[in-house]
Amino acid sequence: MKTTRILTTLILGLFLTPMLPAANPVTVPSGLSHTAWNQLVQKYVDEKGLVAYGKWQADSADRQKLEDYLAQFAPAPEQPAQGNEAAASLINLYNALTVSVILENYPLDSIQTLSKPFATKRLKVGGQMISLNDIEHNTLRPQIGYRAHSVLVCAARSCPPLQREAYGAENLDSRIADAYRAWLARPDLNEFLPAENAAKISSIFSWFEEDFVQAGGVRKILAEYGPADQKEFLSGKGYEISYLPYNWGLNDQGEEGRSYSRIRLLWDRILNLITFWN
């Protein structure tokens, strides 16, 4: 039993992102415009949430448009955004920064091929250099809890689909609910099998279980946002839950990421751990 625990700990060490020292929450200015991001995702994201990275990278004007959008987050805010305004801006920021990182390195099979993709402080926001982890773990998860997990898209094929519209303060709650419904309705991302009395769901629900527990548990979330034709099944308590392997292949409309394997992921995680501790 002790040997099993040791092996489990070693395996988890390879697959979980190393924890960084606590950082200050990310603050953003109030009154930011998300029009540019809205226009870009409508142009380059399809109905499955896949991104035309090749076309985007080839369009220098639209690459600059993205960088200009991100630049407006840089100043230390005299009046920081609060509540839903802050949350919507941070969601858009996370997704836009992730796309920017991919475009800088495209073509690539996975964001995991990059050194410390989520821990590197890449962008000045609110007067400080921040990382994707700073946005997600130090800011959005403490602010909006489980709701963050349907809207943050880490450029992987198993991520919730990237939405084709920027988030805004005025309808944030309904947009997050819509994102959950769109995510749970995708049979390639979550499977509901009444005949087998089973639900095979995204590993995100396992990785961040504590966030869902605070909201009443994973089963409550599935019952609330799951497909309409599965409501009766998901309202029951007796079905078995298991977690699908996470596909870290790039969420590209083209060929990049389609053949990214779990063996390659393991190797990339090992390399990232080595560079993290050096």
Note the pLDDT of residue 21. 43
Q: Mind giving me the DSSP string for the chain?
A: -HHHHHHHHHHHHHHSPPPPPP-PPP--BTT---HHHHHHHHHHB-TTS-B-HHHHHH-HHHHHHHHHHHHTT-SPPSSB--HHHHHHHHHHHHHHHHHHHHHHH-S-S-GGGSSSTTTS--EEETTEEE-HHHHIIIIIHHHHGGGGGGT---SBTTSPPPPSS---GGGHHHHHHHHHHHHHT-TTT-EEEGGGTEEEE-THHHHTHHHHHHTT-HHHHHHHHS-GGGHHHHH-S--EEEEPPP--SB-BSSSTTTT--HHHHHHHHHHHHHHHH-
Beta bridge partners of 125: 128
18 has a pLDDT exceeding 90: no
pLDDT at 24: 83
pLDDT tens digits for range 240-257: 999 999 999 999 999 999
pLDDT, position 269:
85
Residue 151's CB is within 10 A of a number of other CB atoms, namely: 26
CA 77 vs CA 132, 134, 170: distances in Å? 19, 17, 21
More confident residue, 13 or 235: 235
| pLDDT computed for residue 66 by the predictor | 98
User: In the predicted model, what is the mean pLDDT of residues 161-172?
Assistant: 98
Domain boundaries of the chain, sorted by first residue = 27-185+248-277, 190-243
* Residues 92-149: tens digit of each pLDDT: 999 999 999 999 999 999 999 999 999 999 999 999 999 999 999 999 999 999 999 9
The pLDDT of 75-86, averaged and rounded, is 96
- C-alpha 68/C-alpha 72 separation (Å) is 7
31 pLDDT higher than 50: yes
Confidence of residue 160 (pLDDT cuts 50, 70, 90): very high
When mean pLDDT is compared across 80-94, 238-252, 254-268, the lowest value belongs to 254-268
| The pTM of the whole model exceeds 0.85 | yes
Is it the case that residue 182 has pLDDT exceeding 80?
Answer: yes
Assess contact for 251 and 153: CB atoms under 8 A. yes
